[in-house]
Amino acid sequence: MANVLVVDDLDVTFSLHQSEVKAVSDLNFTLSEGETLAVVGESGSGKSQAFLSIMGLLAKNGKASGRAMLGDTNLIGMAPGALDAYRGKDIAMIFQDPMTSLNPTLKVKTQLAEVLVRHQGYTLEKAVRTTIEMLERVGIPEPVKRANAYPHELSGGMRQRVMIAMALLCKPKVLIADEPTTALDVTVQAQMLDLFKNLSNEFGTALVLITHDLGVVAGVADRMMVMYGGRCVEQGPTDNLFYDPRHPYTLGLLHSTPHVAKRARRLDPIQGLPPSLEHLPSGCAFHPRCAFRFDRCFTERPPLLPVEDVREKACWYQGELNYEEVA
């Protein structure tokens, strides 16, 4: 499969009053056509900022460096005017809260058709027709009626479908979805995840799913990337990471997640709190919470290195990840 997005050495830094905070450090990954990559991490892990920087949507005090190659084009450092030729056309992003992402004063069809008029040069009439077709594709009943509605007249699930329809109008190569189902009820979430799967098959769109929910990852992702303290700590095929995690943080996340089909008496959580990016621990950022740490972890940061062919991890510990052995 051809690579559609190649990210090299991505750094994101925010300048505060007195200091600088690095939200993302040294991120490298590739995304191939039609694949679904899940990006997993807790708050402050840098998972959202990494992709906001690729979209050129960082806050004013944020700065990105490195490369994000969409085909032959580097999106990092591009002027906003130039970026607009790609955003919404070749690469699109949807967010957790669909209400705040839609313009409340415009009818659904107006804001969706605008995308096609602008990027594809459609006439308004043709754009509206295509819009209605797309609303139907994403499973909106009575698409003509909904197209004439304002966002507040739609339910949460319906609004998220509208956002997905909008993002897919130009058949983007890459769709980035930041916690797209977190605000939705579980039955609607299931419908939405199904929709993502079908659409990426149908349009060949590569999907980046940013989420904290490992259940969501298991259902849809081909590969996953686990982030901690602004860095990727482990990445590889979803099954490998779930059934044979090699980084203690990945293992800890899996142990922390309650499973609907199994009732364990106790969960086995990671001790302590996620670090503040302003005061990242020395060495490996995870070492204060890690059950497998040893001397080296306190002083030296482990690089992200290949393990087997298909996966990478950043951890000094080479033994088996077995809680009993350390305890």
Partner 1 sequence: MQTLPADSRSDDLIKVENLSKYFSVSSGLFSKPFQLKALQDISFTVKRGETLGIVGESGCGKSTLGRCILQLLTPDDGRVLWMGQDIAALPPEEMRKHRKDLQIIFQDPLASLNPRMTVGEIIADPLKTLMPELKAKERRDRVIRIMEAVGLLPEMINRYPHEFSGGQAQRIGIARALITEPKLIVCDEPVSALDVSIQAQILNLLADLKDQFGLTLIFISHNLSVVRHVSDRIMVLYLGRIVELANGDDLYDDPKHPYTRALLTAVPIPDPRRARQRTIDGLVGEIPSPINPPSGCTFRTRCRYALPICAQQRPPLESTGTRMIACHRWQELELKPGA
Q: Which of residues 85-124 bind partner 1 (CB under 8 A)?
A: none
Q: Which of 214, 226, 285, 297 binds partner 1 (CB under 8 A)?
A: 214
User: What is the separation of C-alpha 174 from the centre of its chain, rounded to a whole number of angstroms?
Assistant: 11
Task: For Cα atoms 211, 217, 218, give the angle at the middle one, nearest 5 degrees.
Answer: 160
| Residue 21 binding partner 1, by CB under 8 A | no
Region binding partner 1 by CB under 8 A among candidate stretches 23-31, 92-100, 122-130, 154-162: 154-162
Choosing from 110, 212, 296, 307, the residue that interacts with partner 1 (CB under 8 A) is 212
Residues 132, 140, 158, 315: which binds partner 1 (CB under 8 A)? 158
What minimum distance in Å lies between the beta carbon of 178 and partner 1?
16
* Minimum CB distance to partner 1 smaller for 130 or for 160: 160
Q: Give the range of 104-112, 115-123, 180-188, 316-324 binding partner 1 by CB under 8 A.
A: 180-188
Looking only at the bridges linking them, the beta strands covering 311-313 and 231-237 are: antiparallel
Total interface residues for partner 1 by CB under 8 A: 49
128 membership: H or E segment, kind and range: helix 124-137
Judged by CB under 8 A, the chain residues 245 through 284 that form the site for partner 1 are 252-261, 263-271, 273-274
Residue 191 Cβ, how far from partner 1 at the closest point, in Å?
8
* Binding track, positions 23-62, relative to partner 1; x by CB under 8 A: -------------------xx-------------------
The span from the CA of 240 to the CA of 12, in Å, is 29
| Cβ distance to partner 1 smaller for residue 185 or 300 | 185
18 binds partner 1 (CB under 8 A): no
201 binds partner 1 (CB under 8 A): no
Least Å distance, CB 201 to partner 1, is 14
- Adjacency order of strands within the sheet including 311-313: 91-94, 174-178, 206-211, 36-40, 223-228, 231-237, 311-313, 305-307
Burial of 19 (0-12, 13-18, 19+ CB in 10 A): exposed
Residue 176 and residue 4: Cα distance in Å, rounded?
Answer: 13
Residue number, 261 or 305, with CB nearest to partner 1: 261
The least distance separating partner 1 from the CB of residue 251, rounded to whole angstroms, comes to 11
How far apart (Å, rounded) are the C-alpha atoms in residues 159 and 98? 6
CA-wise closest residue to 71 among 42, 112, 32, 99: 32
CA 1: distance to chain centroid?
20
CA count, 13 A, side-chain hemisphere, 173:
15
186 lies in the site for partner 1, by CB under 8 A: yes
Interface with partner 1, residue 239, by CB under 8 A: yes
Neighbours of 248 (CB within 10 A): 26
Nearer to partner 1, 273 or 326 (CB): 273
* Sign of the CA dihedral with 151 first, then 153, 154, and 155 last: positive
Residues forming contacts to partner 1 in the complex (CB under 8 A) are 42-43, 141, 155-158, 185-191, 193-194, 212-219, 238-239, 242-243, 252-261, 263-271, 273-274
